[in-house]
C-alpha cells in the first residue's frame, strides 16, 4: 500500500505511533486488493484553537475512492476518529462488492434481462489468500502429530466414559489416519491461516461419523464373533517383527524412542485426564469440547466456532457453563481446578 502523510502540526512520537497503528489496521482490511493499487493520503493539520486538530483521509482502491474528515481537541483523538470512520466505510464497501454479482442492471427498459455480473473476488484486482497444500498438511503433521494424537485420545477417553463408545471400539491411530486421509483427499481446503482449526474440525467430524457407524454395527453382532481386537502383528513380541531369533542384539538395536512416553508420564497423563473428567462430570459434550479447546488446546473463540460449526457467542456460553461446572465440582484436585479456571477466563 502506498502511504503519504502530511503533518501541518508539531509532529510528536505519540502522533506517529497512532498513525502507524491505524495504518496497520487498514492494511489488514485491504489484503484482498493488490498493494500497488491502494493509495492512502493523510493530512494532519491544526485548526482553530476551539476546534482543535483536523484530520483528512483519502483512500483510493481499484473500485472506489473514500474520503474522511474528522475534528477533535487532540491530534491522537482526531486520528483515531478519522481512521475508525474510514474502516467502517471500507467494511460497507467490501460488503457491497461481495454482493455485486446480484445487482440488477437494466438497459433499454424492463423487457430486457439483467446482465450477469462478476464477483469482485474473481477480478484481477483481487488478491486471493493462499490455500492449504499437501505439503502444508505434511509439515504440520510432522511437527504437531503428538498434539493431535493427545486431543483425539482425550476425546475418545471422554466418549468411552460417557458410554458412547466401547472400550475397544476406536483407537487413536485409526482416527488420526482418517483425519489425514480426509485432509489430503479434500479438494475444498481453507486458507493457510486456518490449517490447525480445520484439522481439529476434521478430527471431531471423523470421530462422530465413526462412532455412529460403530453404534449401527453393535446391533448386528453375531454371537460367534469375537469382541477382542485381532492381533495383526503375527507375534506378541514387537522386536521379533524386525529381528530374527538367531540374530544378535547390538547397542544400536536398543536406542530409546524419545517420542514414547515413560510409564510415569503415562500414569500422570491418565491421572490428569481423570481429573478433567471428574471436574466436568455432568457437563454437556458440546460445553466440554469448547472448554477443552479453549483452555487446554489454546484456540480462540472464533477458531473454536470454526472447529465445531457453532456461533462464537454460543461457544462463549459453553465455556462459561463448563467453568461453572468445574467451579462447583468436589474439592478433589482443587489446585488443578483453579488452574483450569484461570486458563479459561473469558
Which pLDDT tens digit goes with each residue over 30-81?
A: 877 777 888 889 998 887 767 788 899 998 888 788 898 888 888 888 888 8
What is residue 317's predicted lDDT score, i.e. its pLDDT? Answer: 92
What integer is the mean pLDDT of 227-238?
Answer: 52
The residue among 337 and 79 whose pLDDT is bigger is 79
Q: Is the pLDDT of residue 92 over 70?
A: yes
**Collapsed DSSP state (helix, strand, coil) of residue 105:** coil
**How would you classify residue 108: left for phi > 0, otherwise alpha for psi between -120 and 50, otherwise beta?**
left
Percent of the chain residues topping a pLDDT of 70 = 68
Contacts of 179 (CB under 8 A, 6+ apart): 148, 152, 199, 202, 203, 206
What is residue 241's predicted lDDT score, i.e. its pLDDT? Answer: 52
Q: Is the pLDDT of residue 95 over 60?
A: yes
Percent of the chain residues topping a pLDDT of 90 = 2
Over residues 109-139, the pLDDT tens digits come to 454 554 555 665 566 555 566 678 888 888 8
Measured distance CA(244)–CA(242) in Å, rounded = 7
What integer is the mean pLDDT of 1-6?
Answer: 86
What is residue 336's predicted lDDT score, i.e. its pLDDT? Answer: 54
What is residue 342's predicted lDDT score, i.e. its pLDDT? Answer: 58
Q: Is the pLDDT of residue 100 over 60?
A: no
Domain 2-100 CATH (choose: 3.30.160.100, 3.40.50.410, 1.25.40.10, 2.40.128.720): 3.30.160.100
What is residue 313's predicted lDDT score, i.e. its pLDDT? Answer: 92
Measured distance CA(5)–CA(22) in Å, rounded = 12
Over residues 182-225, the pLDDT tens digits come to 888 876 777 655 788 888 888 898 888 888 887 776 655 556 65
Q: Of 24-28, 87-91, 159-163, 290-294, which gets the smallest average pLDDT?
A: 159-163
| φ, ψ of residue 275 in degrees (nearest 5) | -65, -40
E strand map for the chain: 2-8, 39-46, 53-61, 64-72
Measured distance CA(144)–CA(196) in Å, rounded = 9
User: Cβ distance 67 to 58 under 8 Å?
Assistant: yes
Q: Is the pLDDT of residue 23 over 70?
A: yes
The domain segmentation of the chain, as residue ranges, is 2-100, 134-217+262-343
What integer is the mean pLDDT of 226-254?
Answer: 54
Mean pLDDT estimate for the chain: 76
DSSP letters for 182-242: HHHH-SS--BGGGHHHHHHHHHHHHHHHHHHHHHHHHTT--TTS--SPP-TTSSS-GGGGT
**How would you classify residue 85: left for phi > 0, otherwise alpha for psi between -120 and 50, otherwise beta?**
alpha
Amino acid at each position: 500500500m502506498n502511504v503519504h502523510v502530511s503533518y501541518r502540526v508539531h509532529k510528536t512520537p505519540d502522533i506517529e505511533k497512532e498513525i502507524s497503528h491505524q495504518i496497520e489496521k487498514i492494511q489488514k482490511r485491504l489484503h484482498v486488493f493488490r498493494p500497488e493499487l491502494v493509495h492512502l493520503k493523510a493530512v494532519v493539520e491544526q485548526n482553530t484553537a476551539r476546534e482543535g486538530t483536523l484530520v483528512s483521509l483519502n483512500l483510493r482502491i481499484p473500485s472506489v475512492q473514500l474520503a474522511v474528515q474528522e475534528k477533535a481537541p487532540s491530534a491522537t483523538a482526531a486520528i483515531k476518529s478519522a481512521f475508525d470512520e474510514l474502516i467502517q466505510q471500507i467494511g460497507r464497501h467490501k460488503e457491497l462488492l461481495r454482493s455485486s454479482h446480484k445487482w440488477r442492471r437494466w438497459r433499454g427498459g424492463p423487457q430486457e434481462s439483467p446482465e450477469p455480473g462478476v464477483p469482485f473476488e474473481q477480478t484481477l484486482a483481487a488478491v486471493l489468500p493462499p490455500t492449504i497444500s499437501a505439503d502444508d498438511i505434511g509439515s504440520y503433521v510432522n511437527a504437531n502429530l503428538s498434539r493431535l494424537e493427545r486431543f483425539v485420545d482425550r476425546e475418545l477417553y471422554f466418549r468411552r466414559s460417557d458410554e458412547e463408545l466401547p472400550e475397544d471400539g476406536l483407537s487413536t491411530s485409526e482416527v488420526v489416519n482418517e483425519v489425514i486421509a480426509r485432509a489430503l483427499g479434500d479438494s475444498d481446503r481453507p486458507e493457510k491461516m486456518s490449517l490447525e482449526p480445520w484439522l481439529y474440525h476434521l478430527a471431531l467430524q471423523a470421530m462422530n461419523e465413526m462412532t455412529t457407524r460403530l453404534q449401527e454395527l453393535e446391533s448386528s453382532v453375531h454371537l460367534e464373533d469375537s469382541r477382542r481386537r485381532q492381533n495383526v502383528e503375527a507375534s506378541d513380541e514387537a522386536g521379533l517383527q524386525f529381528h530374527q531369533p538367531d540374530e544378535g542384539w547390538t547397542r544400536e538395536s536398543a536406542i530409546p524412542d524419545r517420542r514414547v512416553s515413560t510409564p510415569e508420564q503415562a500414569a500422570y497423563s491418565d491421572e490428569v485426564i481423570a481429573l478433567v473428567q471428574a471436574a466436568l462430570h455432568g457437563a454437556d459434550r458440546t460445553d466440554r469440547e469448547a472448554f477443552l479447546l479453549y483452555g487446554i488446546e489454546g484456540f480462540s473463540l472464533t477458531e473454536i466456532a470454526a472447529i465445531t460449526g457453532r456461533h462464537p457467542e454460543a461457544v462463549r456460553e459453553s465455556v462459561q457453563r463448563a467453568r461453572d461446572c468445574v467451579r462447583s465440582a468436589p474439592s478433589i484436585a482443587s489446585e488443578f481446578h483453579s488452574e483450569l479456571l484461570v486458563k479459561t477466563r473469558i
